[in-house]
Structure 1
C-alpha cells in the first residue's frame, strides 16, 4: 500500500551537539537518563521524549544546518509561534527555546498520547475535529498579531499551478493538461478566499496530533502558523482523512463542521485544488537533503487530492 502518513528519517537525541544537550539538562535541572526518539513528520532533526534523573519529563525537538539547510529556519518559526501562543488545552506548553544560529531547539511539554489511526476512524475524527473547532474559536481573532498571513507565509503553495502552466511537463497527467485553465482559476480563488484573521496551524495531519488517555487532543508542530480564514485548518485536516483511505465521508464532515459549514463549497474546492497543485509540483523536484521520503509521500498524496478535486468539480 502507498505510504500516506508523513514519516521521515530522524536523527537520534545522542546525535545532537553536546552544547544543545547541555542546554536541555540546564533547563530541566537534572541529567537526561532516557531519550525515546519519536517518528512522524519529515524533519531530519531529533525529536525525543525525555526523562531526567529526578523524574522530570519533557519533549525536545532540535535540528542544525548540517542536517538540512532549511530546517533550522522552520524550527525557528515554530519557536516564534509557540512563544506567542496562549496556553490552551489543545496546545503543548513551551518550556524554553535555543538558537545559536546553527542549531535550533524547542523544549516542550511531554504529551503522553497517541497519534490518530491511519486510516482515520470515526471515533478519532469526532474527537480531533471537535477539538479543532474549539481551538479555532479560541484563536479568533489571532492572539499573535504578527503572525504572517497565509498568502505571505506560503505563497508558492498557493501558486503552483502557475508554475506548472509556465512549463507544462510532457508527462503530466492528461487530466491536468485538459483542465489547467480551470485549476488556475481555482488557485487564484483560493488565494483570496483563505484570507482571514484566525491563527491557523496550516499543517494538521495525523502525525501532528496527539490524543491522550484522558481524551485531551493536542495539536503539535506549529512551524507553519499563520493568519487565515477560520475554515482553513478544518479543510487541511480533512485532506488527511481522504489520503488515509478513511471510511469517514470528508465532504459530509465539511458540510456540517462548525468551522466549515458556513464556508462557500467552491472556496473549499479551490483550496483542495491549490494544495493538490503544490504537491504535484513539489513531488517532481529532487528530494531535499535529509528528507529522502518526502517526494514519494507528496506523489501519493497529490494523486488522492486530484481525485478529490475531480469529484468536487465534476470535471
Structure 2
C-alpha cells in the first residue's frame, strides 16, 4: 500500500532544525507526488542549492529500507544520486540526497531511455558486491523456487538493484540513474537484466523484444538457460502471490508479463 505523504512543514520543528544543520535555512520545500514508499519525499531549496530528502517514521514497519539506502549509498555513487546526510530522531528517519534535475524513465518500445537503462546496468554489473550484511538472491527467491537445487543458479558476487520500476530510474543529462535502493542484493549478475525484462514487458515490449534489449549485457549473454528458466518460473509464482494479496492492476499485469516471459523461455529453450 502507498505510504501517506507528510509535507516538510508538517514535520516537527526539532526535526527540521536538525536537517538545517546540514543544509542551512530551507527557503522552499516542494512535496513530490510520485513514488509510493516514502512518507517524506521533498525537494528542498537552500541558499546553496537544492537537496532531495526522503524518509519514514521510525515506527514504520519498513523503516529498515532507510538503513539499506544509507549503507549502500557510498558504493553506488557512479550509478545513483549521492547520499549526503542522515537525520534520525525519536520520530523520524530522513536521508538527504543530491538533487537531480531529471525525469522518470519511459520503457515503451522505441523509447531512447531503454538504451540508457542498459548502459547504467552495464556499469552496475561491473560492481562487486561490498562486504555488507545484504540479502542474497538465494534467500530472496527461495520461497518461490519449485526445486531448491535451482537456488545455486542465483548465487554470485554482483551487487543487484532488482527493482527496475520506471519510477526508480531517473533520466538526467543524457544518462540513467538508479534510485530507491531499498533491496540491494548479492547474487548472480544476470538477475538484474531478468528483472528489467519483466518491467520492459509491462511497458509494452514483447518477451522477445525485451530479451533483445539485454543482449549486449555481458551478464545476460553468460546467463545459464536452466537458471533463467527457473527464475522465470519463480517470478511467475512470486507475482501471482503478490497480485492475489493486492489486486492493484499493475501487479496483476506483472503476473501476466511473468507468465508470457516463462512461456517464451520454454519455447526458445526447447
2:132 match:
146
For residue 218 of structure 1, the aligned residue among 177, 196, 200 is 177
Cα deviation, 1:25-78, whole Å, max 9, x if unaligned, reads 2210122413241402x31512122212x1420101011156xx3221222222
In structure 2, stretches of 5+ residues that fail to align are none
Question: What is the TM-score normalised by the length of structure 2?
Answer: 0.87
Alpha-carbon deviation of 1:272?
Answer: 2.5
**Is residue 71 of structure 2 the alignment partner of residue 80 of structure 1?**
yes
The 1:149–1:36 alpha-carbon spacing in structure 2 relative to 1, beyond 3 Å, is: closer
1:60 match:
53
Counterparts of 1:120-159 in structure 2, within 5 Å, are 121-137=110-126, 139=127, 141-142=128-129, 144-151=130-137, 154-155=139-140, 157-159=141-143
- The whole-number CA distance in structure 2 between the counterparts of 1:148 and 1:19 is 32
Q: Match of 2:167, SS?
A: helix
- The whole-number CA distance in structure 2 between the counterparts of 1:129 and 1:241 is 11
Alpha-carbon deviation of 1:301?
Answer: 0.9
Flag the structure with higher strand content: 2
- The whole-number CA distance in structure 2 between the counterparts of 1:151 and 1:136 is 15
1:51/1:58 contact within 8 Å kept: yes
Question: What is the TM-score normalised by the length of structure 1?
Answer: 0.75
Cα deviation, 1:220-252, whole Å, max 9, x if unaligned, reads 111111211112212212221011213680122
1:76/1:104 contact within 8 Å kept: no
2:259 match:
306
Alpha-carbon deviation of 1:196?
Answer: 0.8
- The whole-number CA distance in structure 2 between the counterparts of 1:35 and 1:22 is 17
- The whole-number CA distance in structure 2 between the counterparts of 1:101 and 1:224 is 24
The 1:198–1:33 alpha-carbon spacing in structure 2 relative to 1, beyond 3 Å, is: same
- The whole-number CA distance in structure 2 between the counterparts of 1:72 and 1:134 is 28
In structure 1, stretches of 5+ residues that fail to align are 1-6, 162-183, 288-293
1:244 match:
203
Counterparts of 1:215-294 in structure 2, within 5 Å, are 215-246=174-205, 249-285=209-245
Q: Match of 1:104, SS?
A: strand
The 1:57–1:297 alpha-carbon spacing in structure 2 relative to 1, beyond 3 Å, is: same
Cα deviation, 1:296-315, whole Å, max 9, x if unaligned, reads 43222112211211221249
- The whole-number CA distance in structure 1 between the counterparts of 2:33 and 2:99 is 12
- The whole-number CA distance in structure 2 between the counterparts of 1:211 and 1:192 is 35
- The whole-number CA distance in structure 1 between the counterparts of 2:93 and 2:248 is 25
The 1:64–1:9 alpha-carbon spacing in structure 2 relative to 1, beyond 3 Å, is: closer
2:81/2:98 contact within 8 Å kept: yes
Counterparts of 1:41-56 in structure 2, within 5 Å, are 42-52=36-46, 54-56=47-49
For residue 95 of structure 2, the aligned residue among 106, 110, 120 is 106
2:26/2:44 contact within 8 Å kept: no
Alpha-carbon deviation of 1:276?
Answer: 2.2
Alpha-carbon deviation of 1:93?
Answer: 0.8
For residue 22 of structure 2, the aligned residue among 24, 27, 34 is 27
2:7 match:
13
- The whole-number CA distance in structure 1 between the counterparts of 2:131 and 2:87 is 23
Alpha-carbon deviation of 1:205?
Answer: 2.2
Count the aligned residue pairs: 266
2:34 match:
39
